[in-house]
Homo-oligomer: A and B are copies of this chain.
Amino acid sequence: MARTQGSHSDITGPRVREAALALFARHGFAAVSMRQIASAVGVQAGALYNYTPDKQTLLYDLMRTHMEDLLAAWDSQTPTGGALGALETFTRFHIRFNTRRADAVFVSYMELRNLSPENFEVIEGLRRDYETRLETILRQGAREGVFAVSEPRIASMAVIAMLTGVNTWFREQGRLSLAEVEAIYWEMVRKSVAA
Protein backbone atom coordinates (compact mmCIF):
# COMPACT_ATOMS: atom_id res chain seq x y z
CA MET A 1 0.00 0.00 0.00
CA ALA A 2 2.49 2.62 -1.11
CA ARG A 3 1.80 6.32 -1.40
CA THR A 4 -1.02 6.53 1.07
CA GLN A 5 0.32 9.68 2.67
CA GLY A 6 1.03 12.83 0.72
CA SER A 7 -0.12 11.15 -2.43
CA HIS A 8 -1.01 13.34 -5.34
CA SER A 9 -4.68 12.59 -5.03
CA ASP A 10 -4.81 14.65 -1.85
CA ILE A 11 -3.76 17.60 -3.95
CA THR A 12 -5.31 16.80 -7.32
CA GLY A 13 -8.75 15.92 -5.95
CA PRO A 14 -9.48 19.35 -4.45
CA ARG A 15 -7.91 21.07 -7.41
CA VAL A 16 -10.23 19.23 -9.78
CA ARG A 17 -13.23 20.39 -7.80
CA GLU A 18 -11.96 23.97 -7.57
CA ALA A 19 -11.24 24.17 -11.28
CA ALA A 20 -14.58 22.58 -12.18
CA LEU A 21 -16.50 24.97 -9.92
CA ALA A 22 -14.79 28.04 -11.36
CA LEU A 23 -15.27 26.90 -14.94
CA PHE A 24 -18.88 25.79 -14.45
CA ALA A 25 -19.66 29.17 -12.89
CA ARG A 26 -18.07 31.13 -15.71
CA HIS A 27 -19.16 29.16 -18.76
CA GLY A 28 -21.87 26.77 -17.58
CA PHE A 29 -21.76 23.03 -17.05
CA ALA A 30 -22.66 22.04 -20.60
CA ALA A 31 -20.16 24.46 -22.13
CA VAL A 32 -17.19 23.18 -20.14
CA SER A 33 -15.35 20.08 -21.34
CA MET A 34 -13.50 17.57 -19.23
CA ARG A 35 -10.39 18.55 -21.19
CA GLN A 36 -10.80 22.18 -20.09
CA ILE A 37 -11.04 21.14 -16.46
CA ALA A 38 -8.04 18.85 -16.84
CA SER A 39 -6.06 21.62 -18.50
CA ALA A 40 -6.83 24.01 -15.64
CA VAL A 41 -5.58 21.40 -13.16
CA GLY A 42 -2.55 20.52 -15.27
CA VAL A 43 -3.34 16.90 -16.08
CA GLN A 44 -4.81 14.97 -18.99
CA ALA A 45 -8.56 14.40 -19.21
CA GLY A 46 -8.26 10.71 -18.36
CA ALA A 47 -6.80 11.50 -14.94
CA LEU A 48 -10.03 13.22 -13.86
CA TYR A 49 -11.73 9.84 -13.74
CA ASN A 50 -9.71 8.98 -10.66
CA TYR A 51 -11.73 11.66 -8.88
CA THR A 52 -15.20 11.38 -10.32
CA PRO A 53 -17.05 8.55 -12.04
CA ASP A 54 -18.37 11.00 -14.64
CA LYS A 55 -18.95 14.68 -15.39
CA GLN A 56 -22.50 14.71 -14.07
CA THR A 57 -21.46 13.32 -10.68
CA LEU A 58 -18.74 15.95 -10.46
CA LEU A 59 -21.41 18.63 -10.78
CA TYR A 60 -23.68 16.89 -8.32
CA ASP A 61 -20.92 16.56 -5.73
CA LEU A 62 -20.10 20.26 -6.01
CA MET A 63 -23.73 21.22 -5.53
CA ARG A 64 -24.37 18.80 -2.69
CA THR A 65 -21.24 19.90 -0.86
CA HIS A 66 -22.26 23.52 -1.22
CA MET A 67 -25.76 22.96 0.08
CA GLU A 68 -24.54 20.85 2.99
CA ASP A 69 -21.94 23.48 3.87
CA LEU A 70 -24.66 26.13 3.79
CA LEU A 71 -26.96 24.19 6.08
CA ALA A 72 -24.13 23.25 8.46
CA ALA A 73 -22.94 26.87 8.62
CA TRP A 74 -26.42 28.13 9.42
CA ASP A 75 -27.03 25.43 11.99
CA SER A 76 -23.85 26.47 13.79
CA GLN A 77 -25.21 29.99 14.22
CA THR A 78 -26.75 30.82 17.60
CA PRO A 79 -29.23 33.64 17.11
CA THR A 80 -30.49 35.60 20.09
CA GLY A 81 -33.25 38.17 20.47
CA GLY A 82 -36.28 36.09 19.57
CA ALA A 83 -37.73 35.91 16.08
CA LEU A 84 -36.58 39.41 15.17
CA GLY A 85 -33.01 38.66 16.22
CA ALA A 86 -33.10 35.36 14.39
CA LEU A 87 -34.28 37.07 11.22
CA GLU A 88 -31.47 39.61 11.44
CA THR A 89 -28.95 36.84 12.03
CA PHE A 90 -30.32 34.93 9.05
CA THR A 91 -30.26 37.97 6.77
CA ARG A 92 -26.67 38.88 7.58
CA PHE A 93 -25.56 35.25 7.52
CA HIS A 94 -27.09 34.61 4.11
CA ILE A 95 -25.50 37.66 2.53
CA ARG A 96 -22.10 36.99 4.06
CA PHE A 97 -22.04 33.27 3.27
CA ASN A 98 -23.30 33.62 -0.29
CA THR A 99 -21.13 36.54 -1.37
CA ARG A 100 -18.06 34.60 -0.20
CA ARG A 101 -19.02 31.60 -2.31
CA ALA A 102 -20.44 33.24 -5.37
CA ASP A 103 -19.32 30.50 -7.75
CA ALA A 104 -20.92 27.70 -5.76
CA VAL A 105 -24.15 29.67 -5.30
CA PHE A 106 -24.32 30.44 -8.98
CA VAL A 107 -23.69 26.86 -10.06
CA SER A 108 -26.08 25.41 -7.49
CA TYR A 109 -28.85 27.60 -8.82
CA MET A 110 -28.14 27.60 -12.55
CA GLU A 111 -27.24 24.00 -13.17
CA LEU A 112 -30.16 22.25 -11.51
CA ARG A 113 -31.48 21.21 -14.90
CA ASN A 114 -28.27 19.35 -15.68
CA LEU A 115 -28.79 16.96 -12.78
CA SER A 116 -30.31 13.53 -13.18
CA PRO A 117 -33.79 13.31 -11.63
CA GLU A 118 -32.48 11.46 -8.56
CA ASN A 119 -29.67 13.94 -8.00
CA PHE A 120 -32.03 16.84 -8.56
CA GLU A 121 -34.32 15.53 -5.84
CA VAL A 122 -31.48 15.49 -3.32
CA ILE A 123 -30.33 19.03 -4.07
CA GLU A 124 -33.89 20.34 -4.17
CA GLY A 125 -34.51 18.69 -0.79
CA LEU A 126 -31.51 20.46 0.71
CA ARG A 127 -32.73 23.75 -0.71
CA ARG A 128 -36.15 23.19 0.81
CA ASP A 129 -34.48 22.42 4.13
CA TYR A 130 -32.73 25.77 4.04
CA GLU A 131 -35.91 27.62 3.13
CA THR A 132 -37.65 25.88 6.01
CA ARG A 133 -35.10 27.31 8.43
CA LEU A 134 -36.24 30.81 7.49
CA GLU A 135 -39.88 29.81 7.29
CA THR A 136 -39.69 28.58 10.86
CA ILE A 137 -38.36 31.95 12.02
CA LEU A 138 -41.14 33.79 10.18
CA ARG A 139 -43.79 31.45 11.52
CA GLN A 140 -42.58 31.88 15.06
CA GLY A 141 -42.48 35.66 14.70
CA ALA A 142 -45.98 35.67 13.27
CA ARG A 143 -47.21 33.61 16.21
CA GLU A 144 -45.53 36.02 18.62
CA GLY A 145 -47.06 38.98 16.81
CA VAL A 146 -43.75 40.63 15.84
CA PHE A 147 -44.19 39.74 12.15
CA ALA A 148 -47.16 40.09 9.84
CA VAL A 149 -46.79 37.37 7.20
CA SER A 150 -49.86 35.69 5.82
CA GLU A 151 -47.83 33.12 3.86
CA PRO A 152 -44.62 32.22 5.70
CA ARG A 153 -43.43 29.75 3.04
CA ILE A 154 -43.78 32.27 0.25
CA ALA A 155 -42.37 35.06 2.36
CA SER A 156 -39.29 32.93 3.06
CA MET A 157 -38.75 32.33 -0.65
CA ALA A 158 -39.27 36.02 -1.36
CA VAL A 159 -36.70 37.05 1.25
CA ILE A 160 -34.16 34.48 0.09
CA ALA A 161 -34.59 35.56 -3.54
CA MET A 162 -34.03 39.17 -2.54
CA LEU A 163 -30.94 38.35 -0.49
CA THR A 164 -29.39 36.02 -3.06
CA GLY A 165 -29.84 38.81 -5.59
CA VAL A 166 -26.95 40.61 -3.88
CA ASN A 167 -24.63 38.21 -5.69
CA THR A 168 -25.56 39.61 -9.09
CA TRP A 169 -24.06 43.03 -8.37
CA PHE A 170 -21.95 42.97 -5.22
CA ARG A 171 -18.20 43.32 -5.70
CA GLU A 172 -15.68 43.21 -2.88
CA GLN A 173 -14.01 46.39 -4.15
CA GLY A 174 -17.25 48.25 -4.84
CA ARG A 175 -18.62 51.44 -3.34
CA LEU A 176 -20.42 49.68 -0.49
CA SER A 177 -18.81 47.42 2.09
CA LEU A 178 -20.38 44.10 2.99
CA ALA A 179 -21.44 45.57 6.34
CA GLU A 180 -23.24 48.42 4.58
CA VAL A 181 -24.96 46.01 2.21
CA GLU A 182 -26.06 43.87 5.15
CA ALA A 183 -27.52 46.95 6.84
CA ILE A 184 -29.44 48.06 3.75
CA TYR A 185 -30.94 44.62 3.17
CA TRP A 186 -31.68 44.02 6.83
CA GLU A 187 -33.73 47.21 6.91
CA MET A 188 -35.72 46.11 3.87
CA VAL A 189 -36.22 42.56 5.15
CA ARG A 190 -37.20 43.76 8.61
CA LYS A 191 -39.79 46.16 7.24
CA SER A 192 -41.12 43.73 4.62
CA VAL A 193 -42.36 41.31 7.30
CA ALA A 194 -42.99 43.88 10.04
CA ALA A 195 -46.26 43.73 11.96
Contact = CB atoms under 8 A, between A and B. Distances in A.
A121 interface: no
A124 to B, nearest CB: 11
Contact of A192 (B160, B169, B191): B191
Given A28-B113, A113-B26, A185 B168 contact: no
A164 B164 CA distance: 12
**Number of copies of this chain that the complex holds:** 2
Contacts of A161: 161-162, 164-165, 168
A171 B155 CA distance: 16
A150 B184 CA distance: 8
Interface in A47-93: none
Contact of A162 (B29, B30, B31, B158): B158
A43 interface: no
Interface of A: 26-31, 110, 113-114, 150-151, 154-155, 157-162, 164-165, 168-169, 176, 181, 184-185, 187-189, 191-194
Q: Which 9 residue pairs across A and B have the least CB separation, nearest first?
A: A161-B165, A192-B192, A30-B30, A30-B31, A162-B162, A188-B192, A158-B162, A191-B191, A191-B192
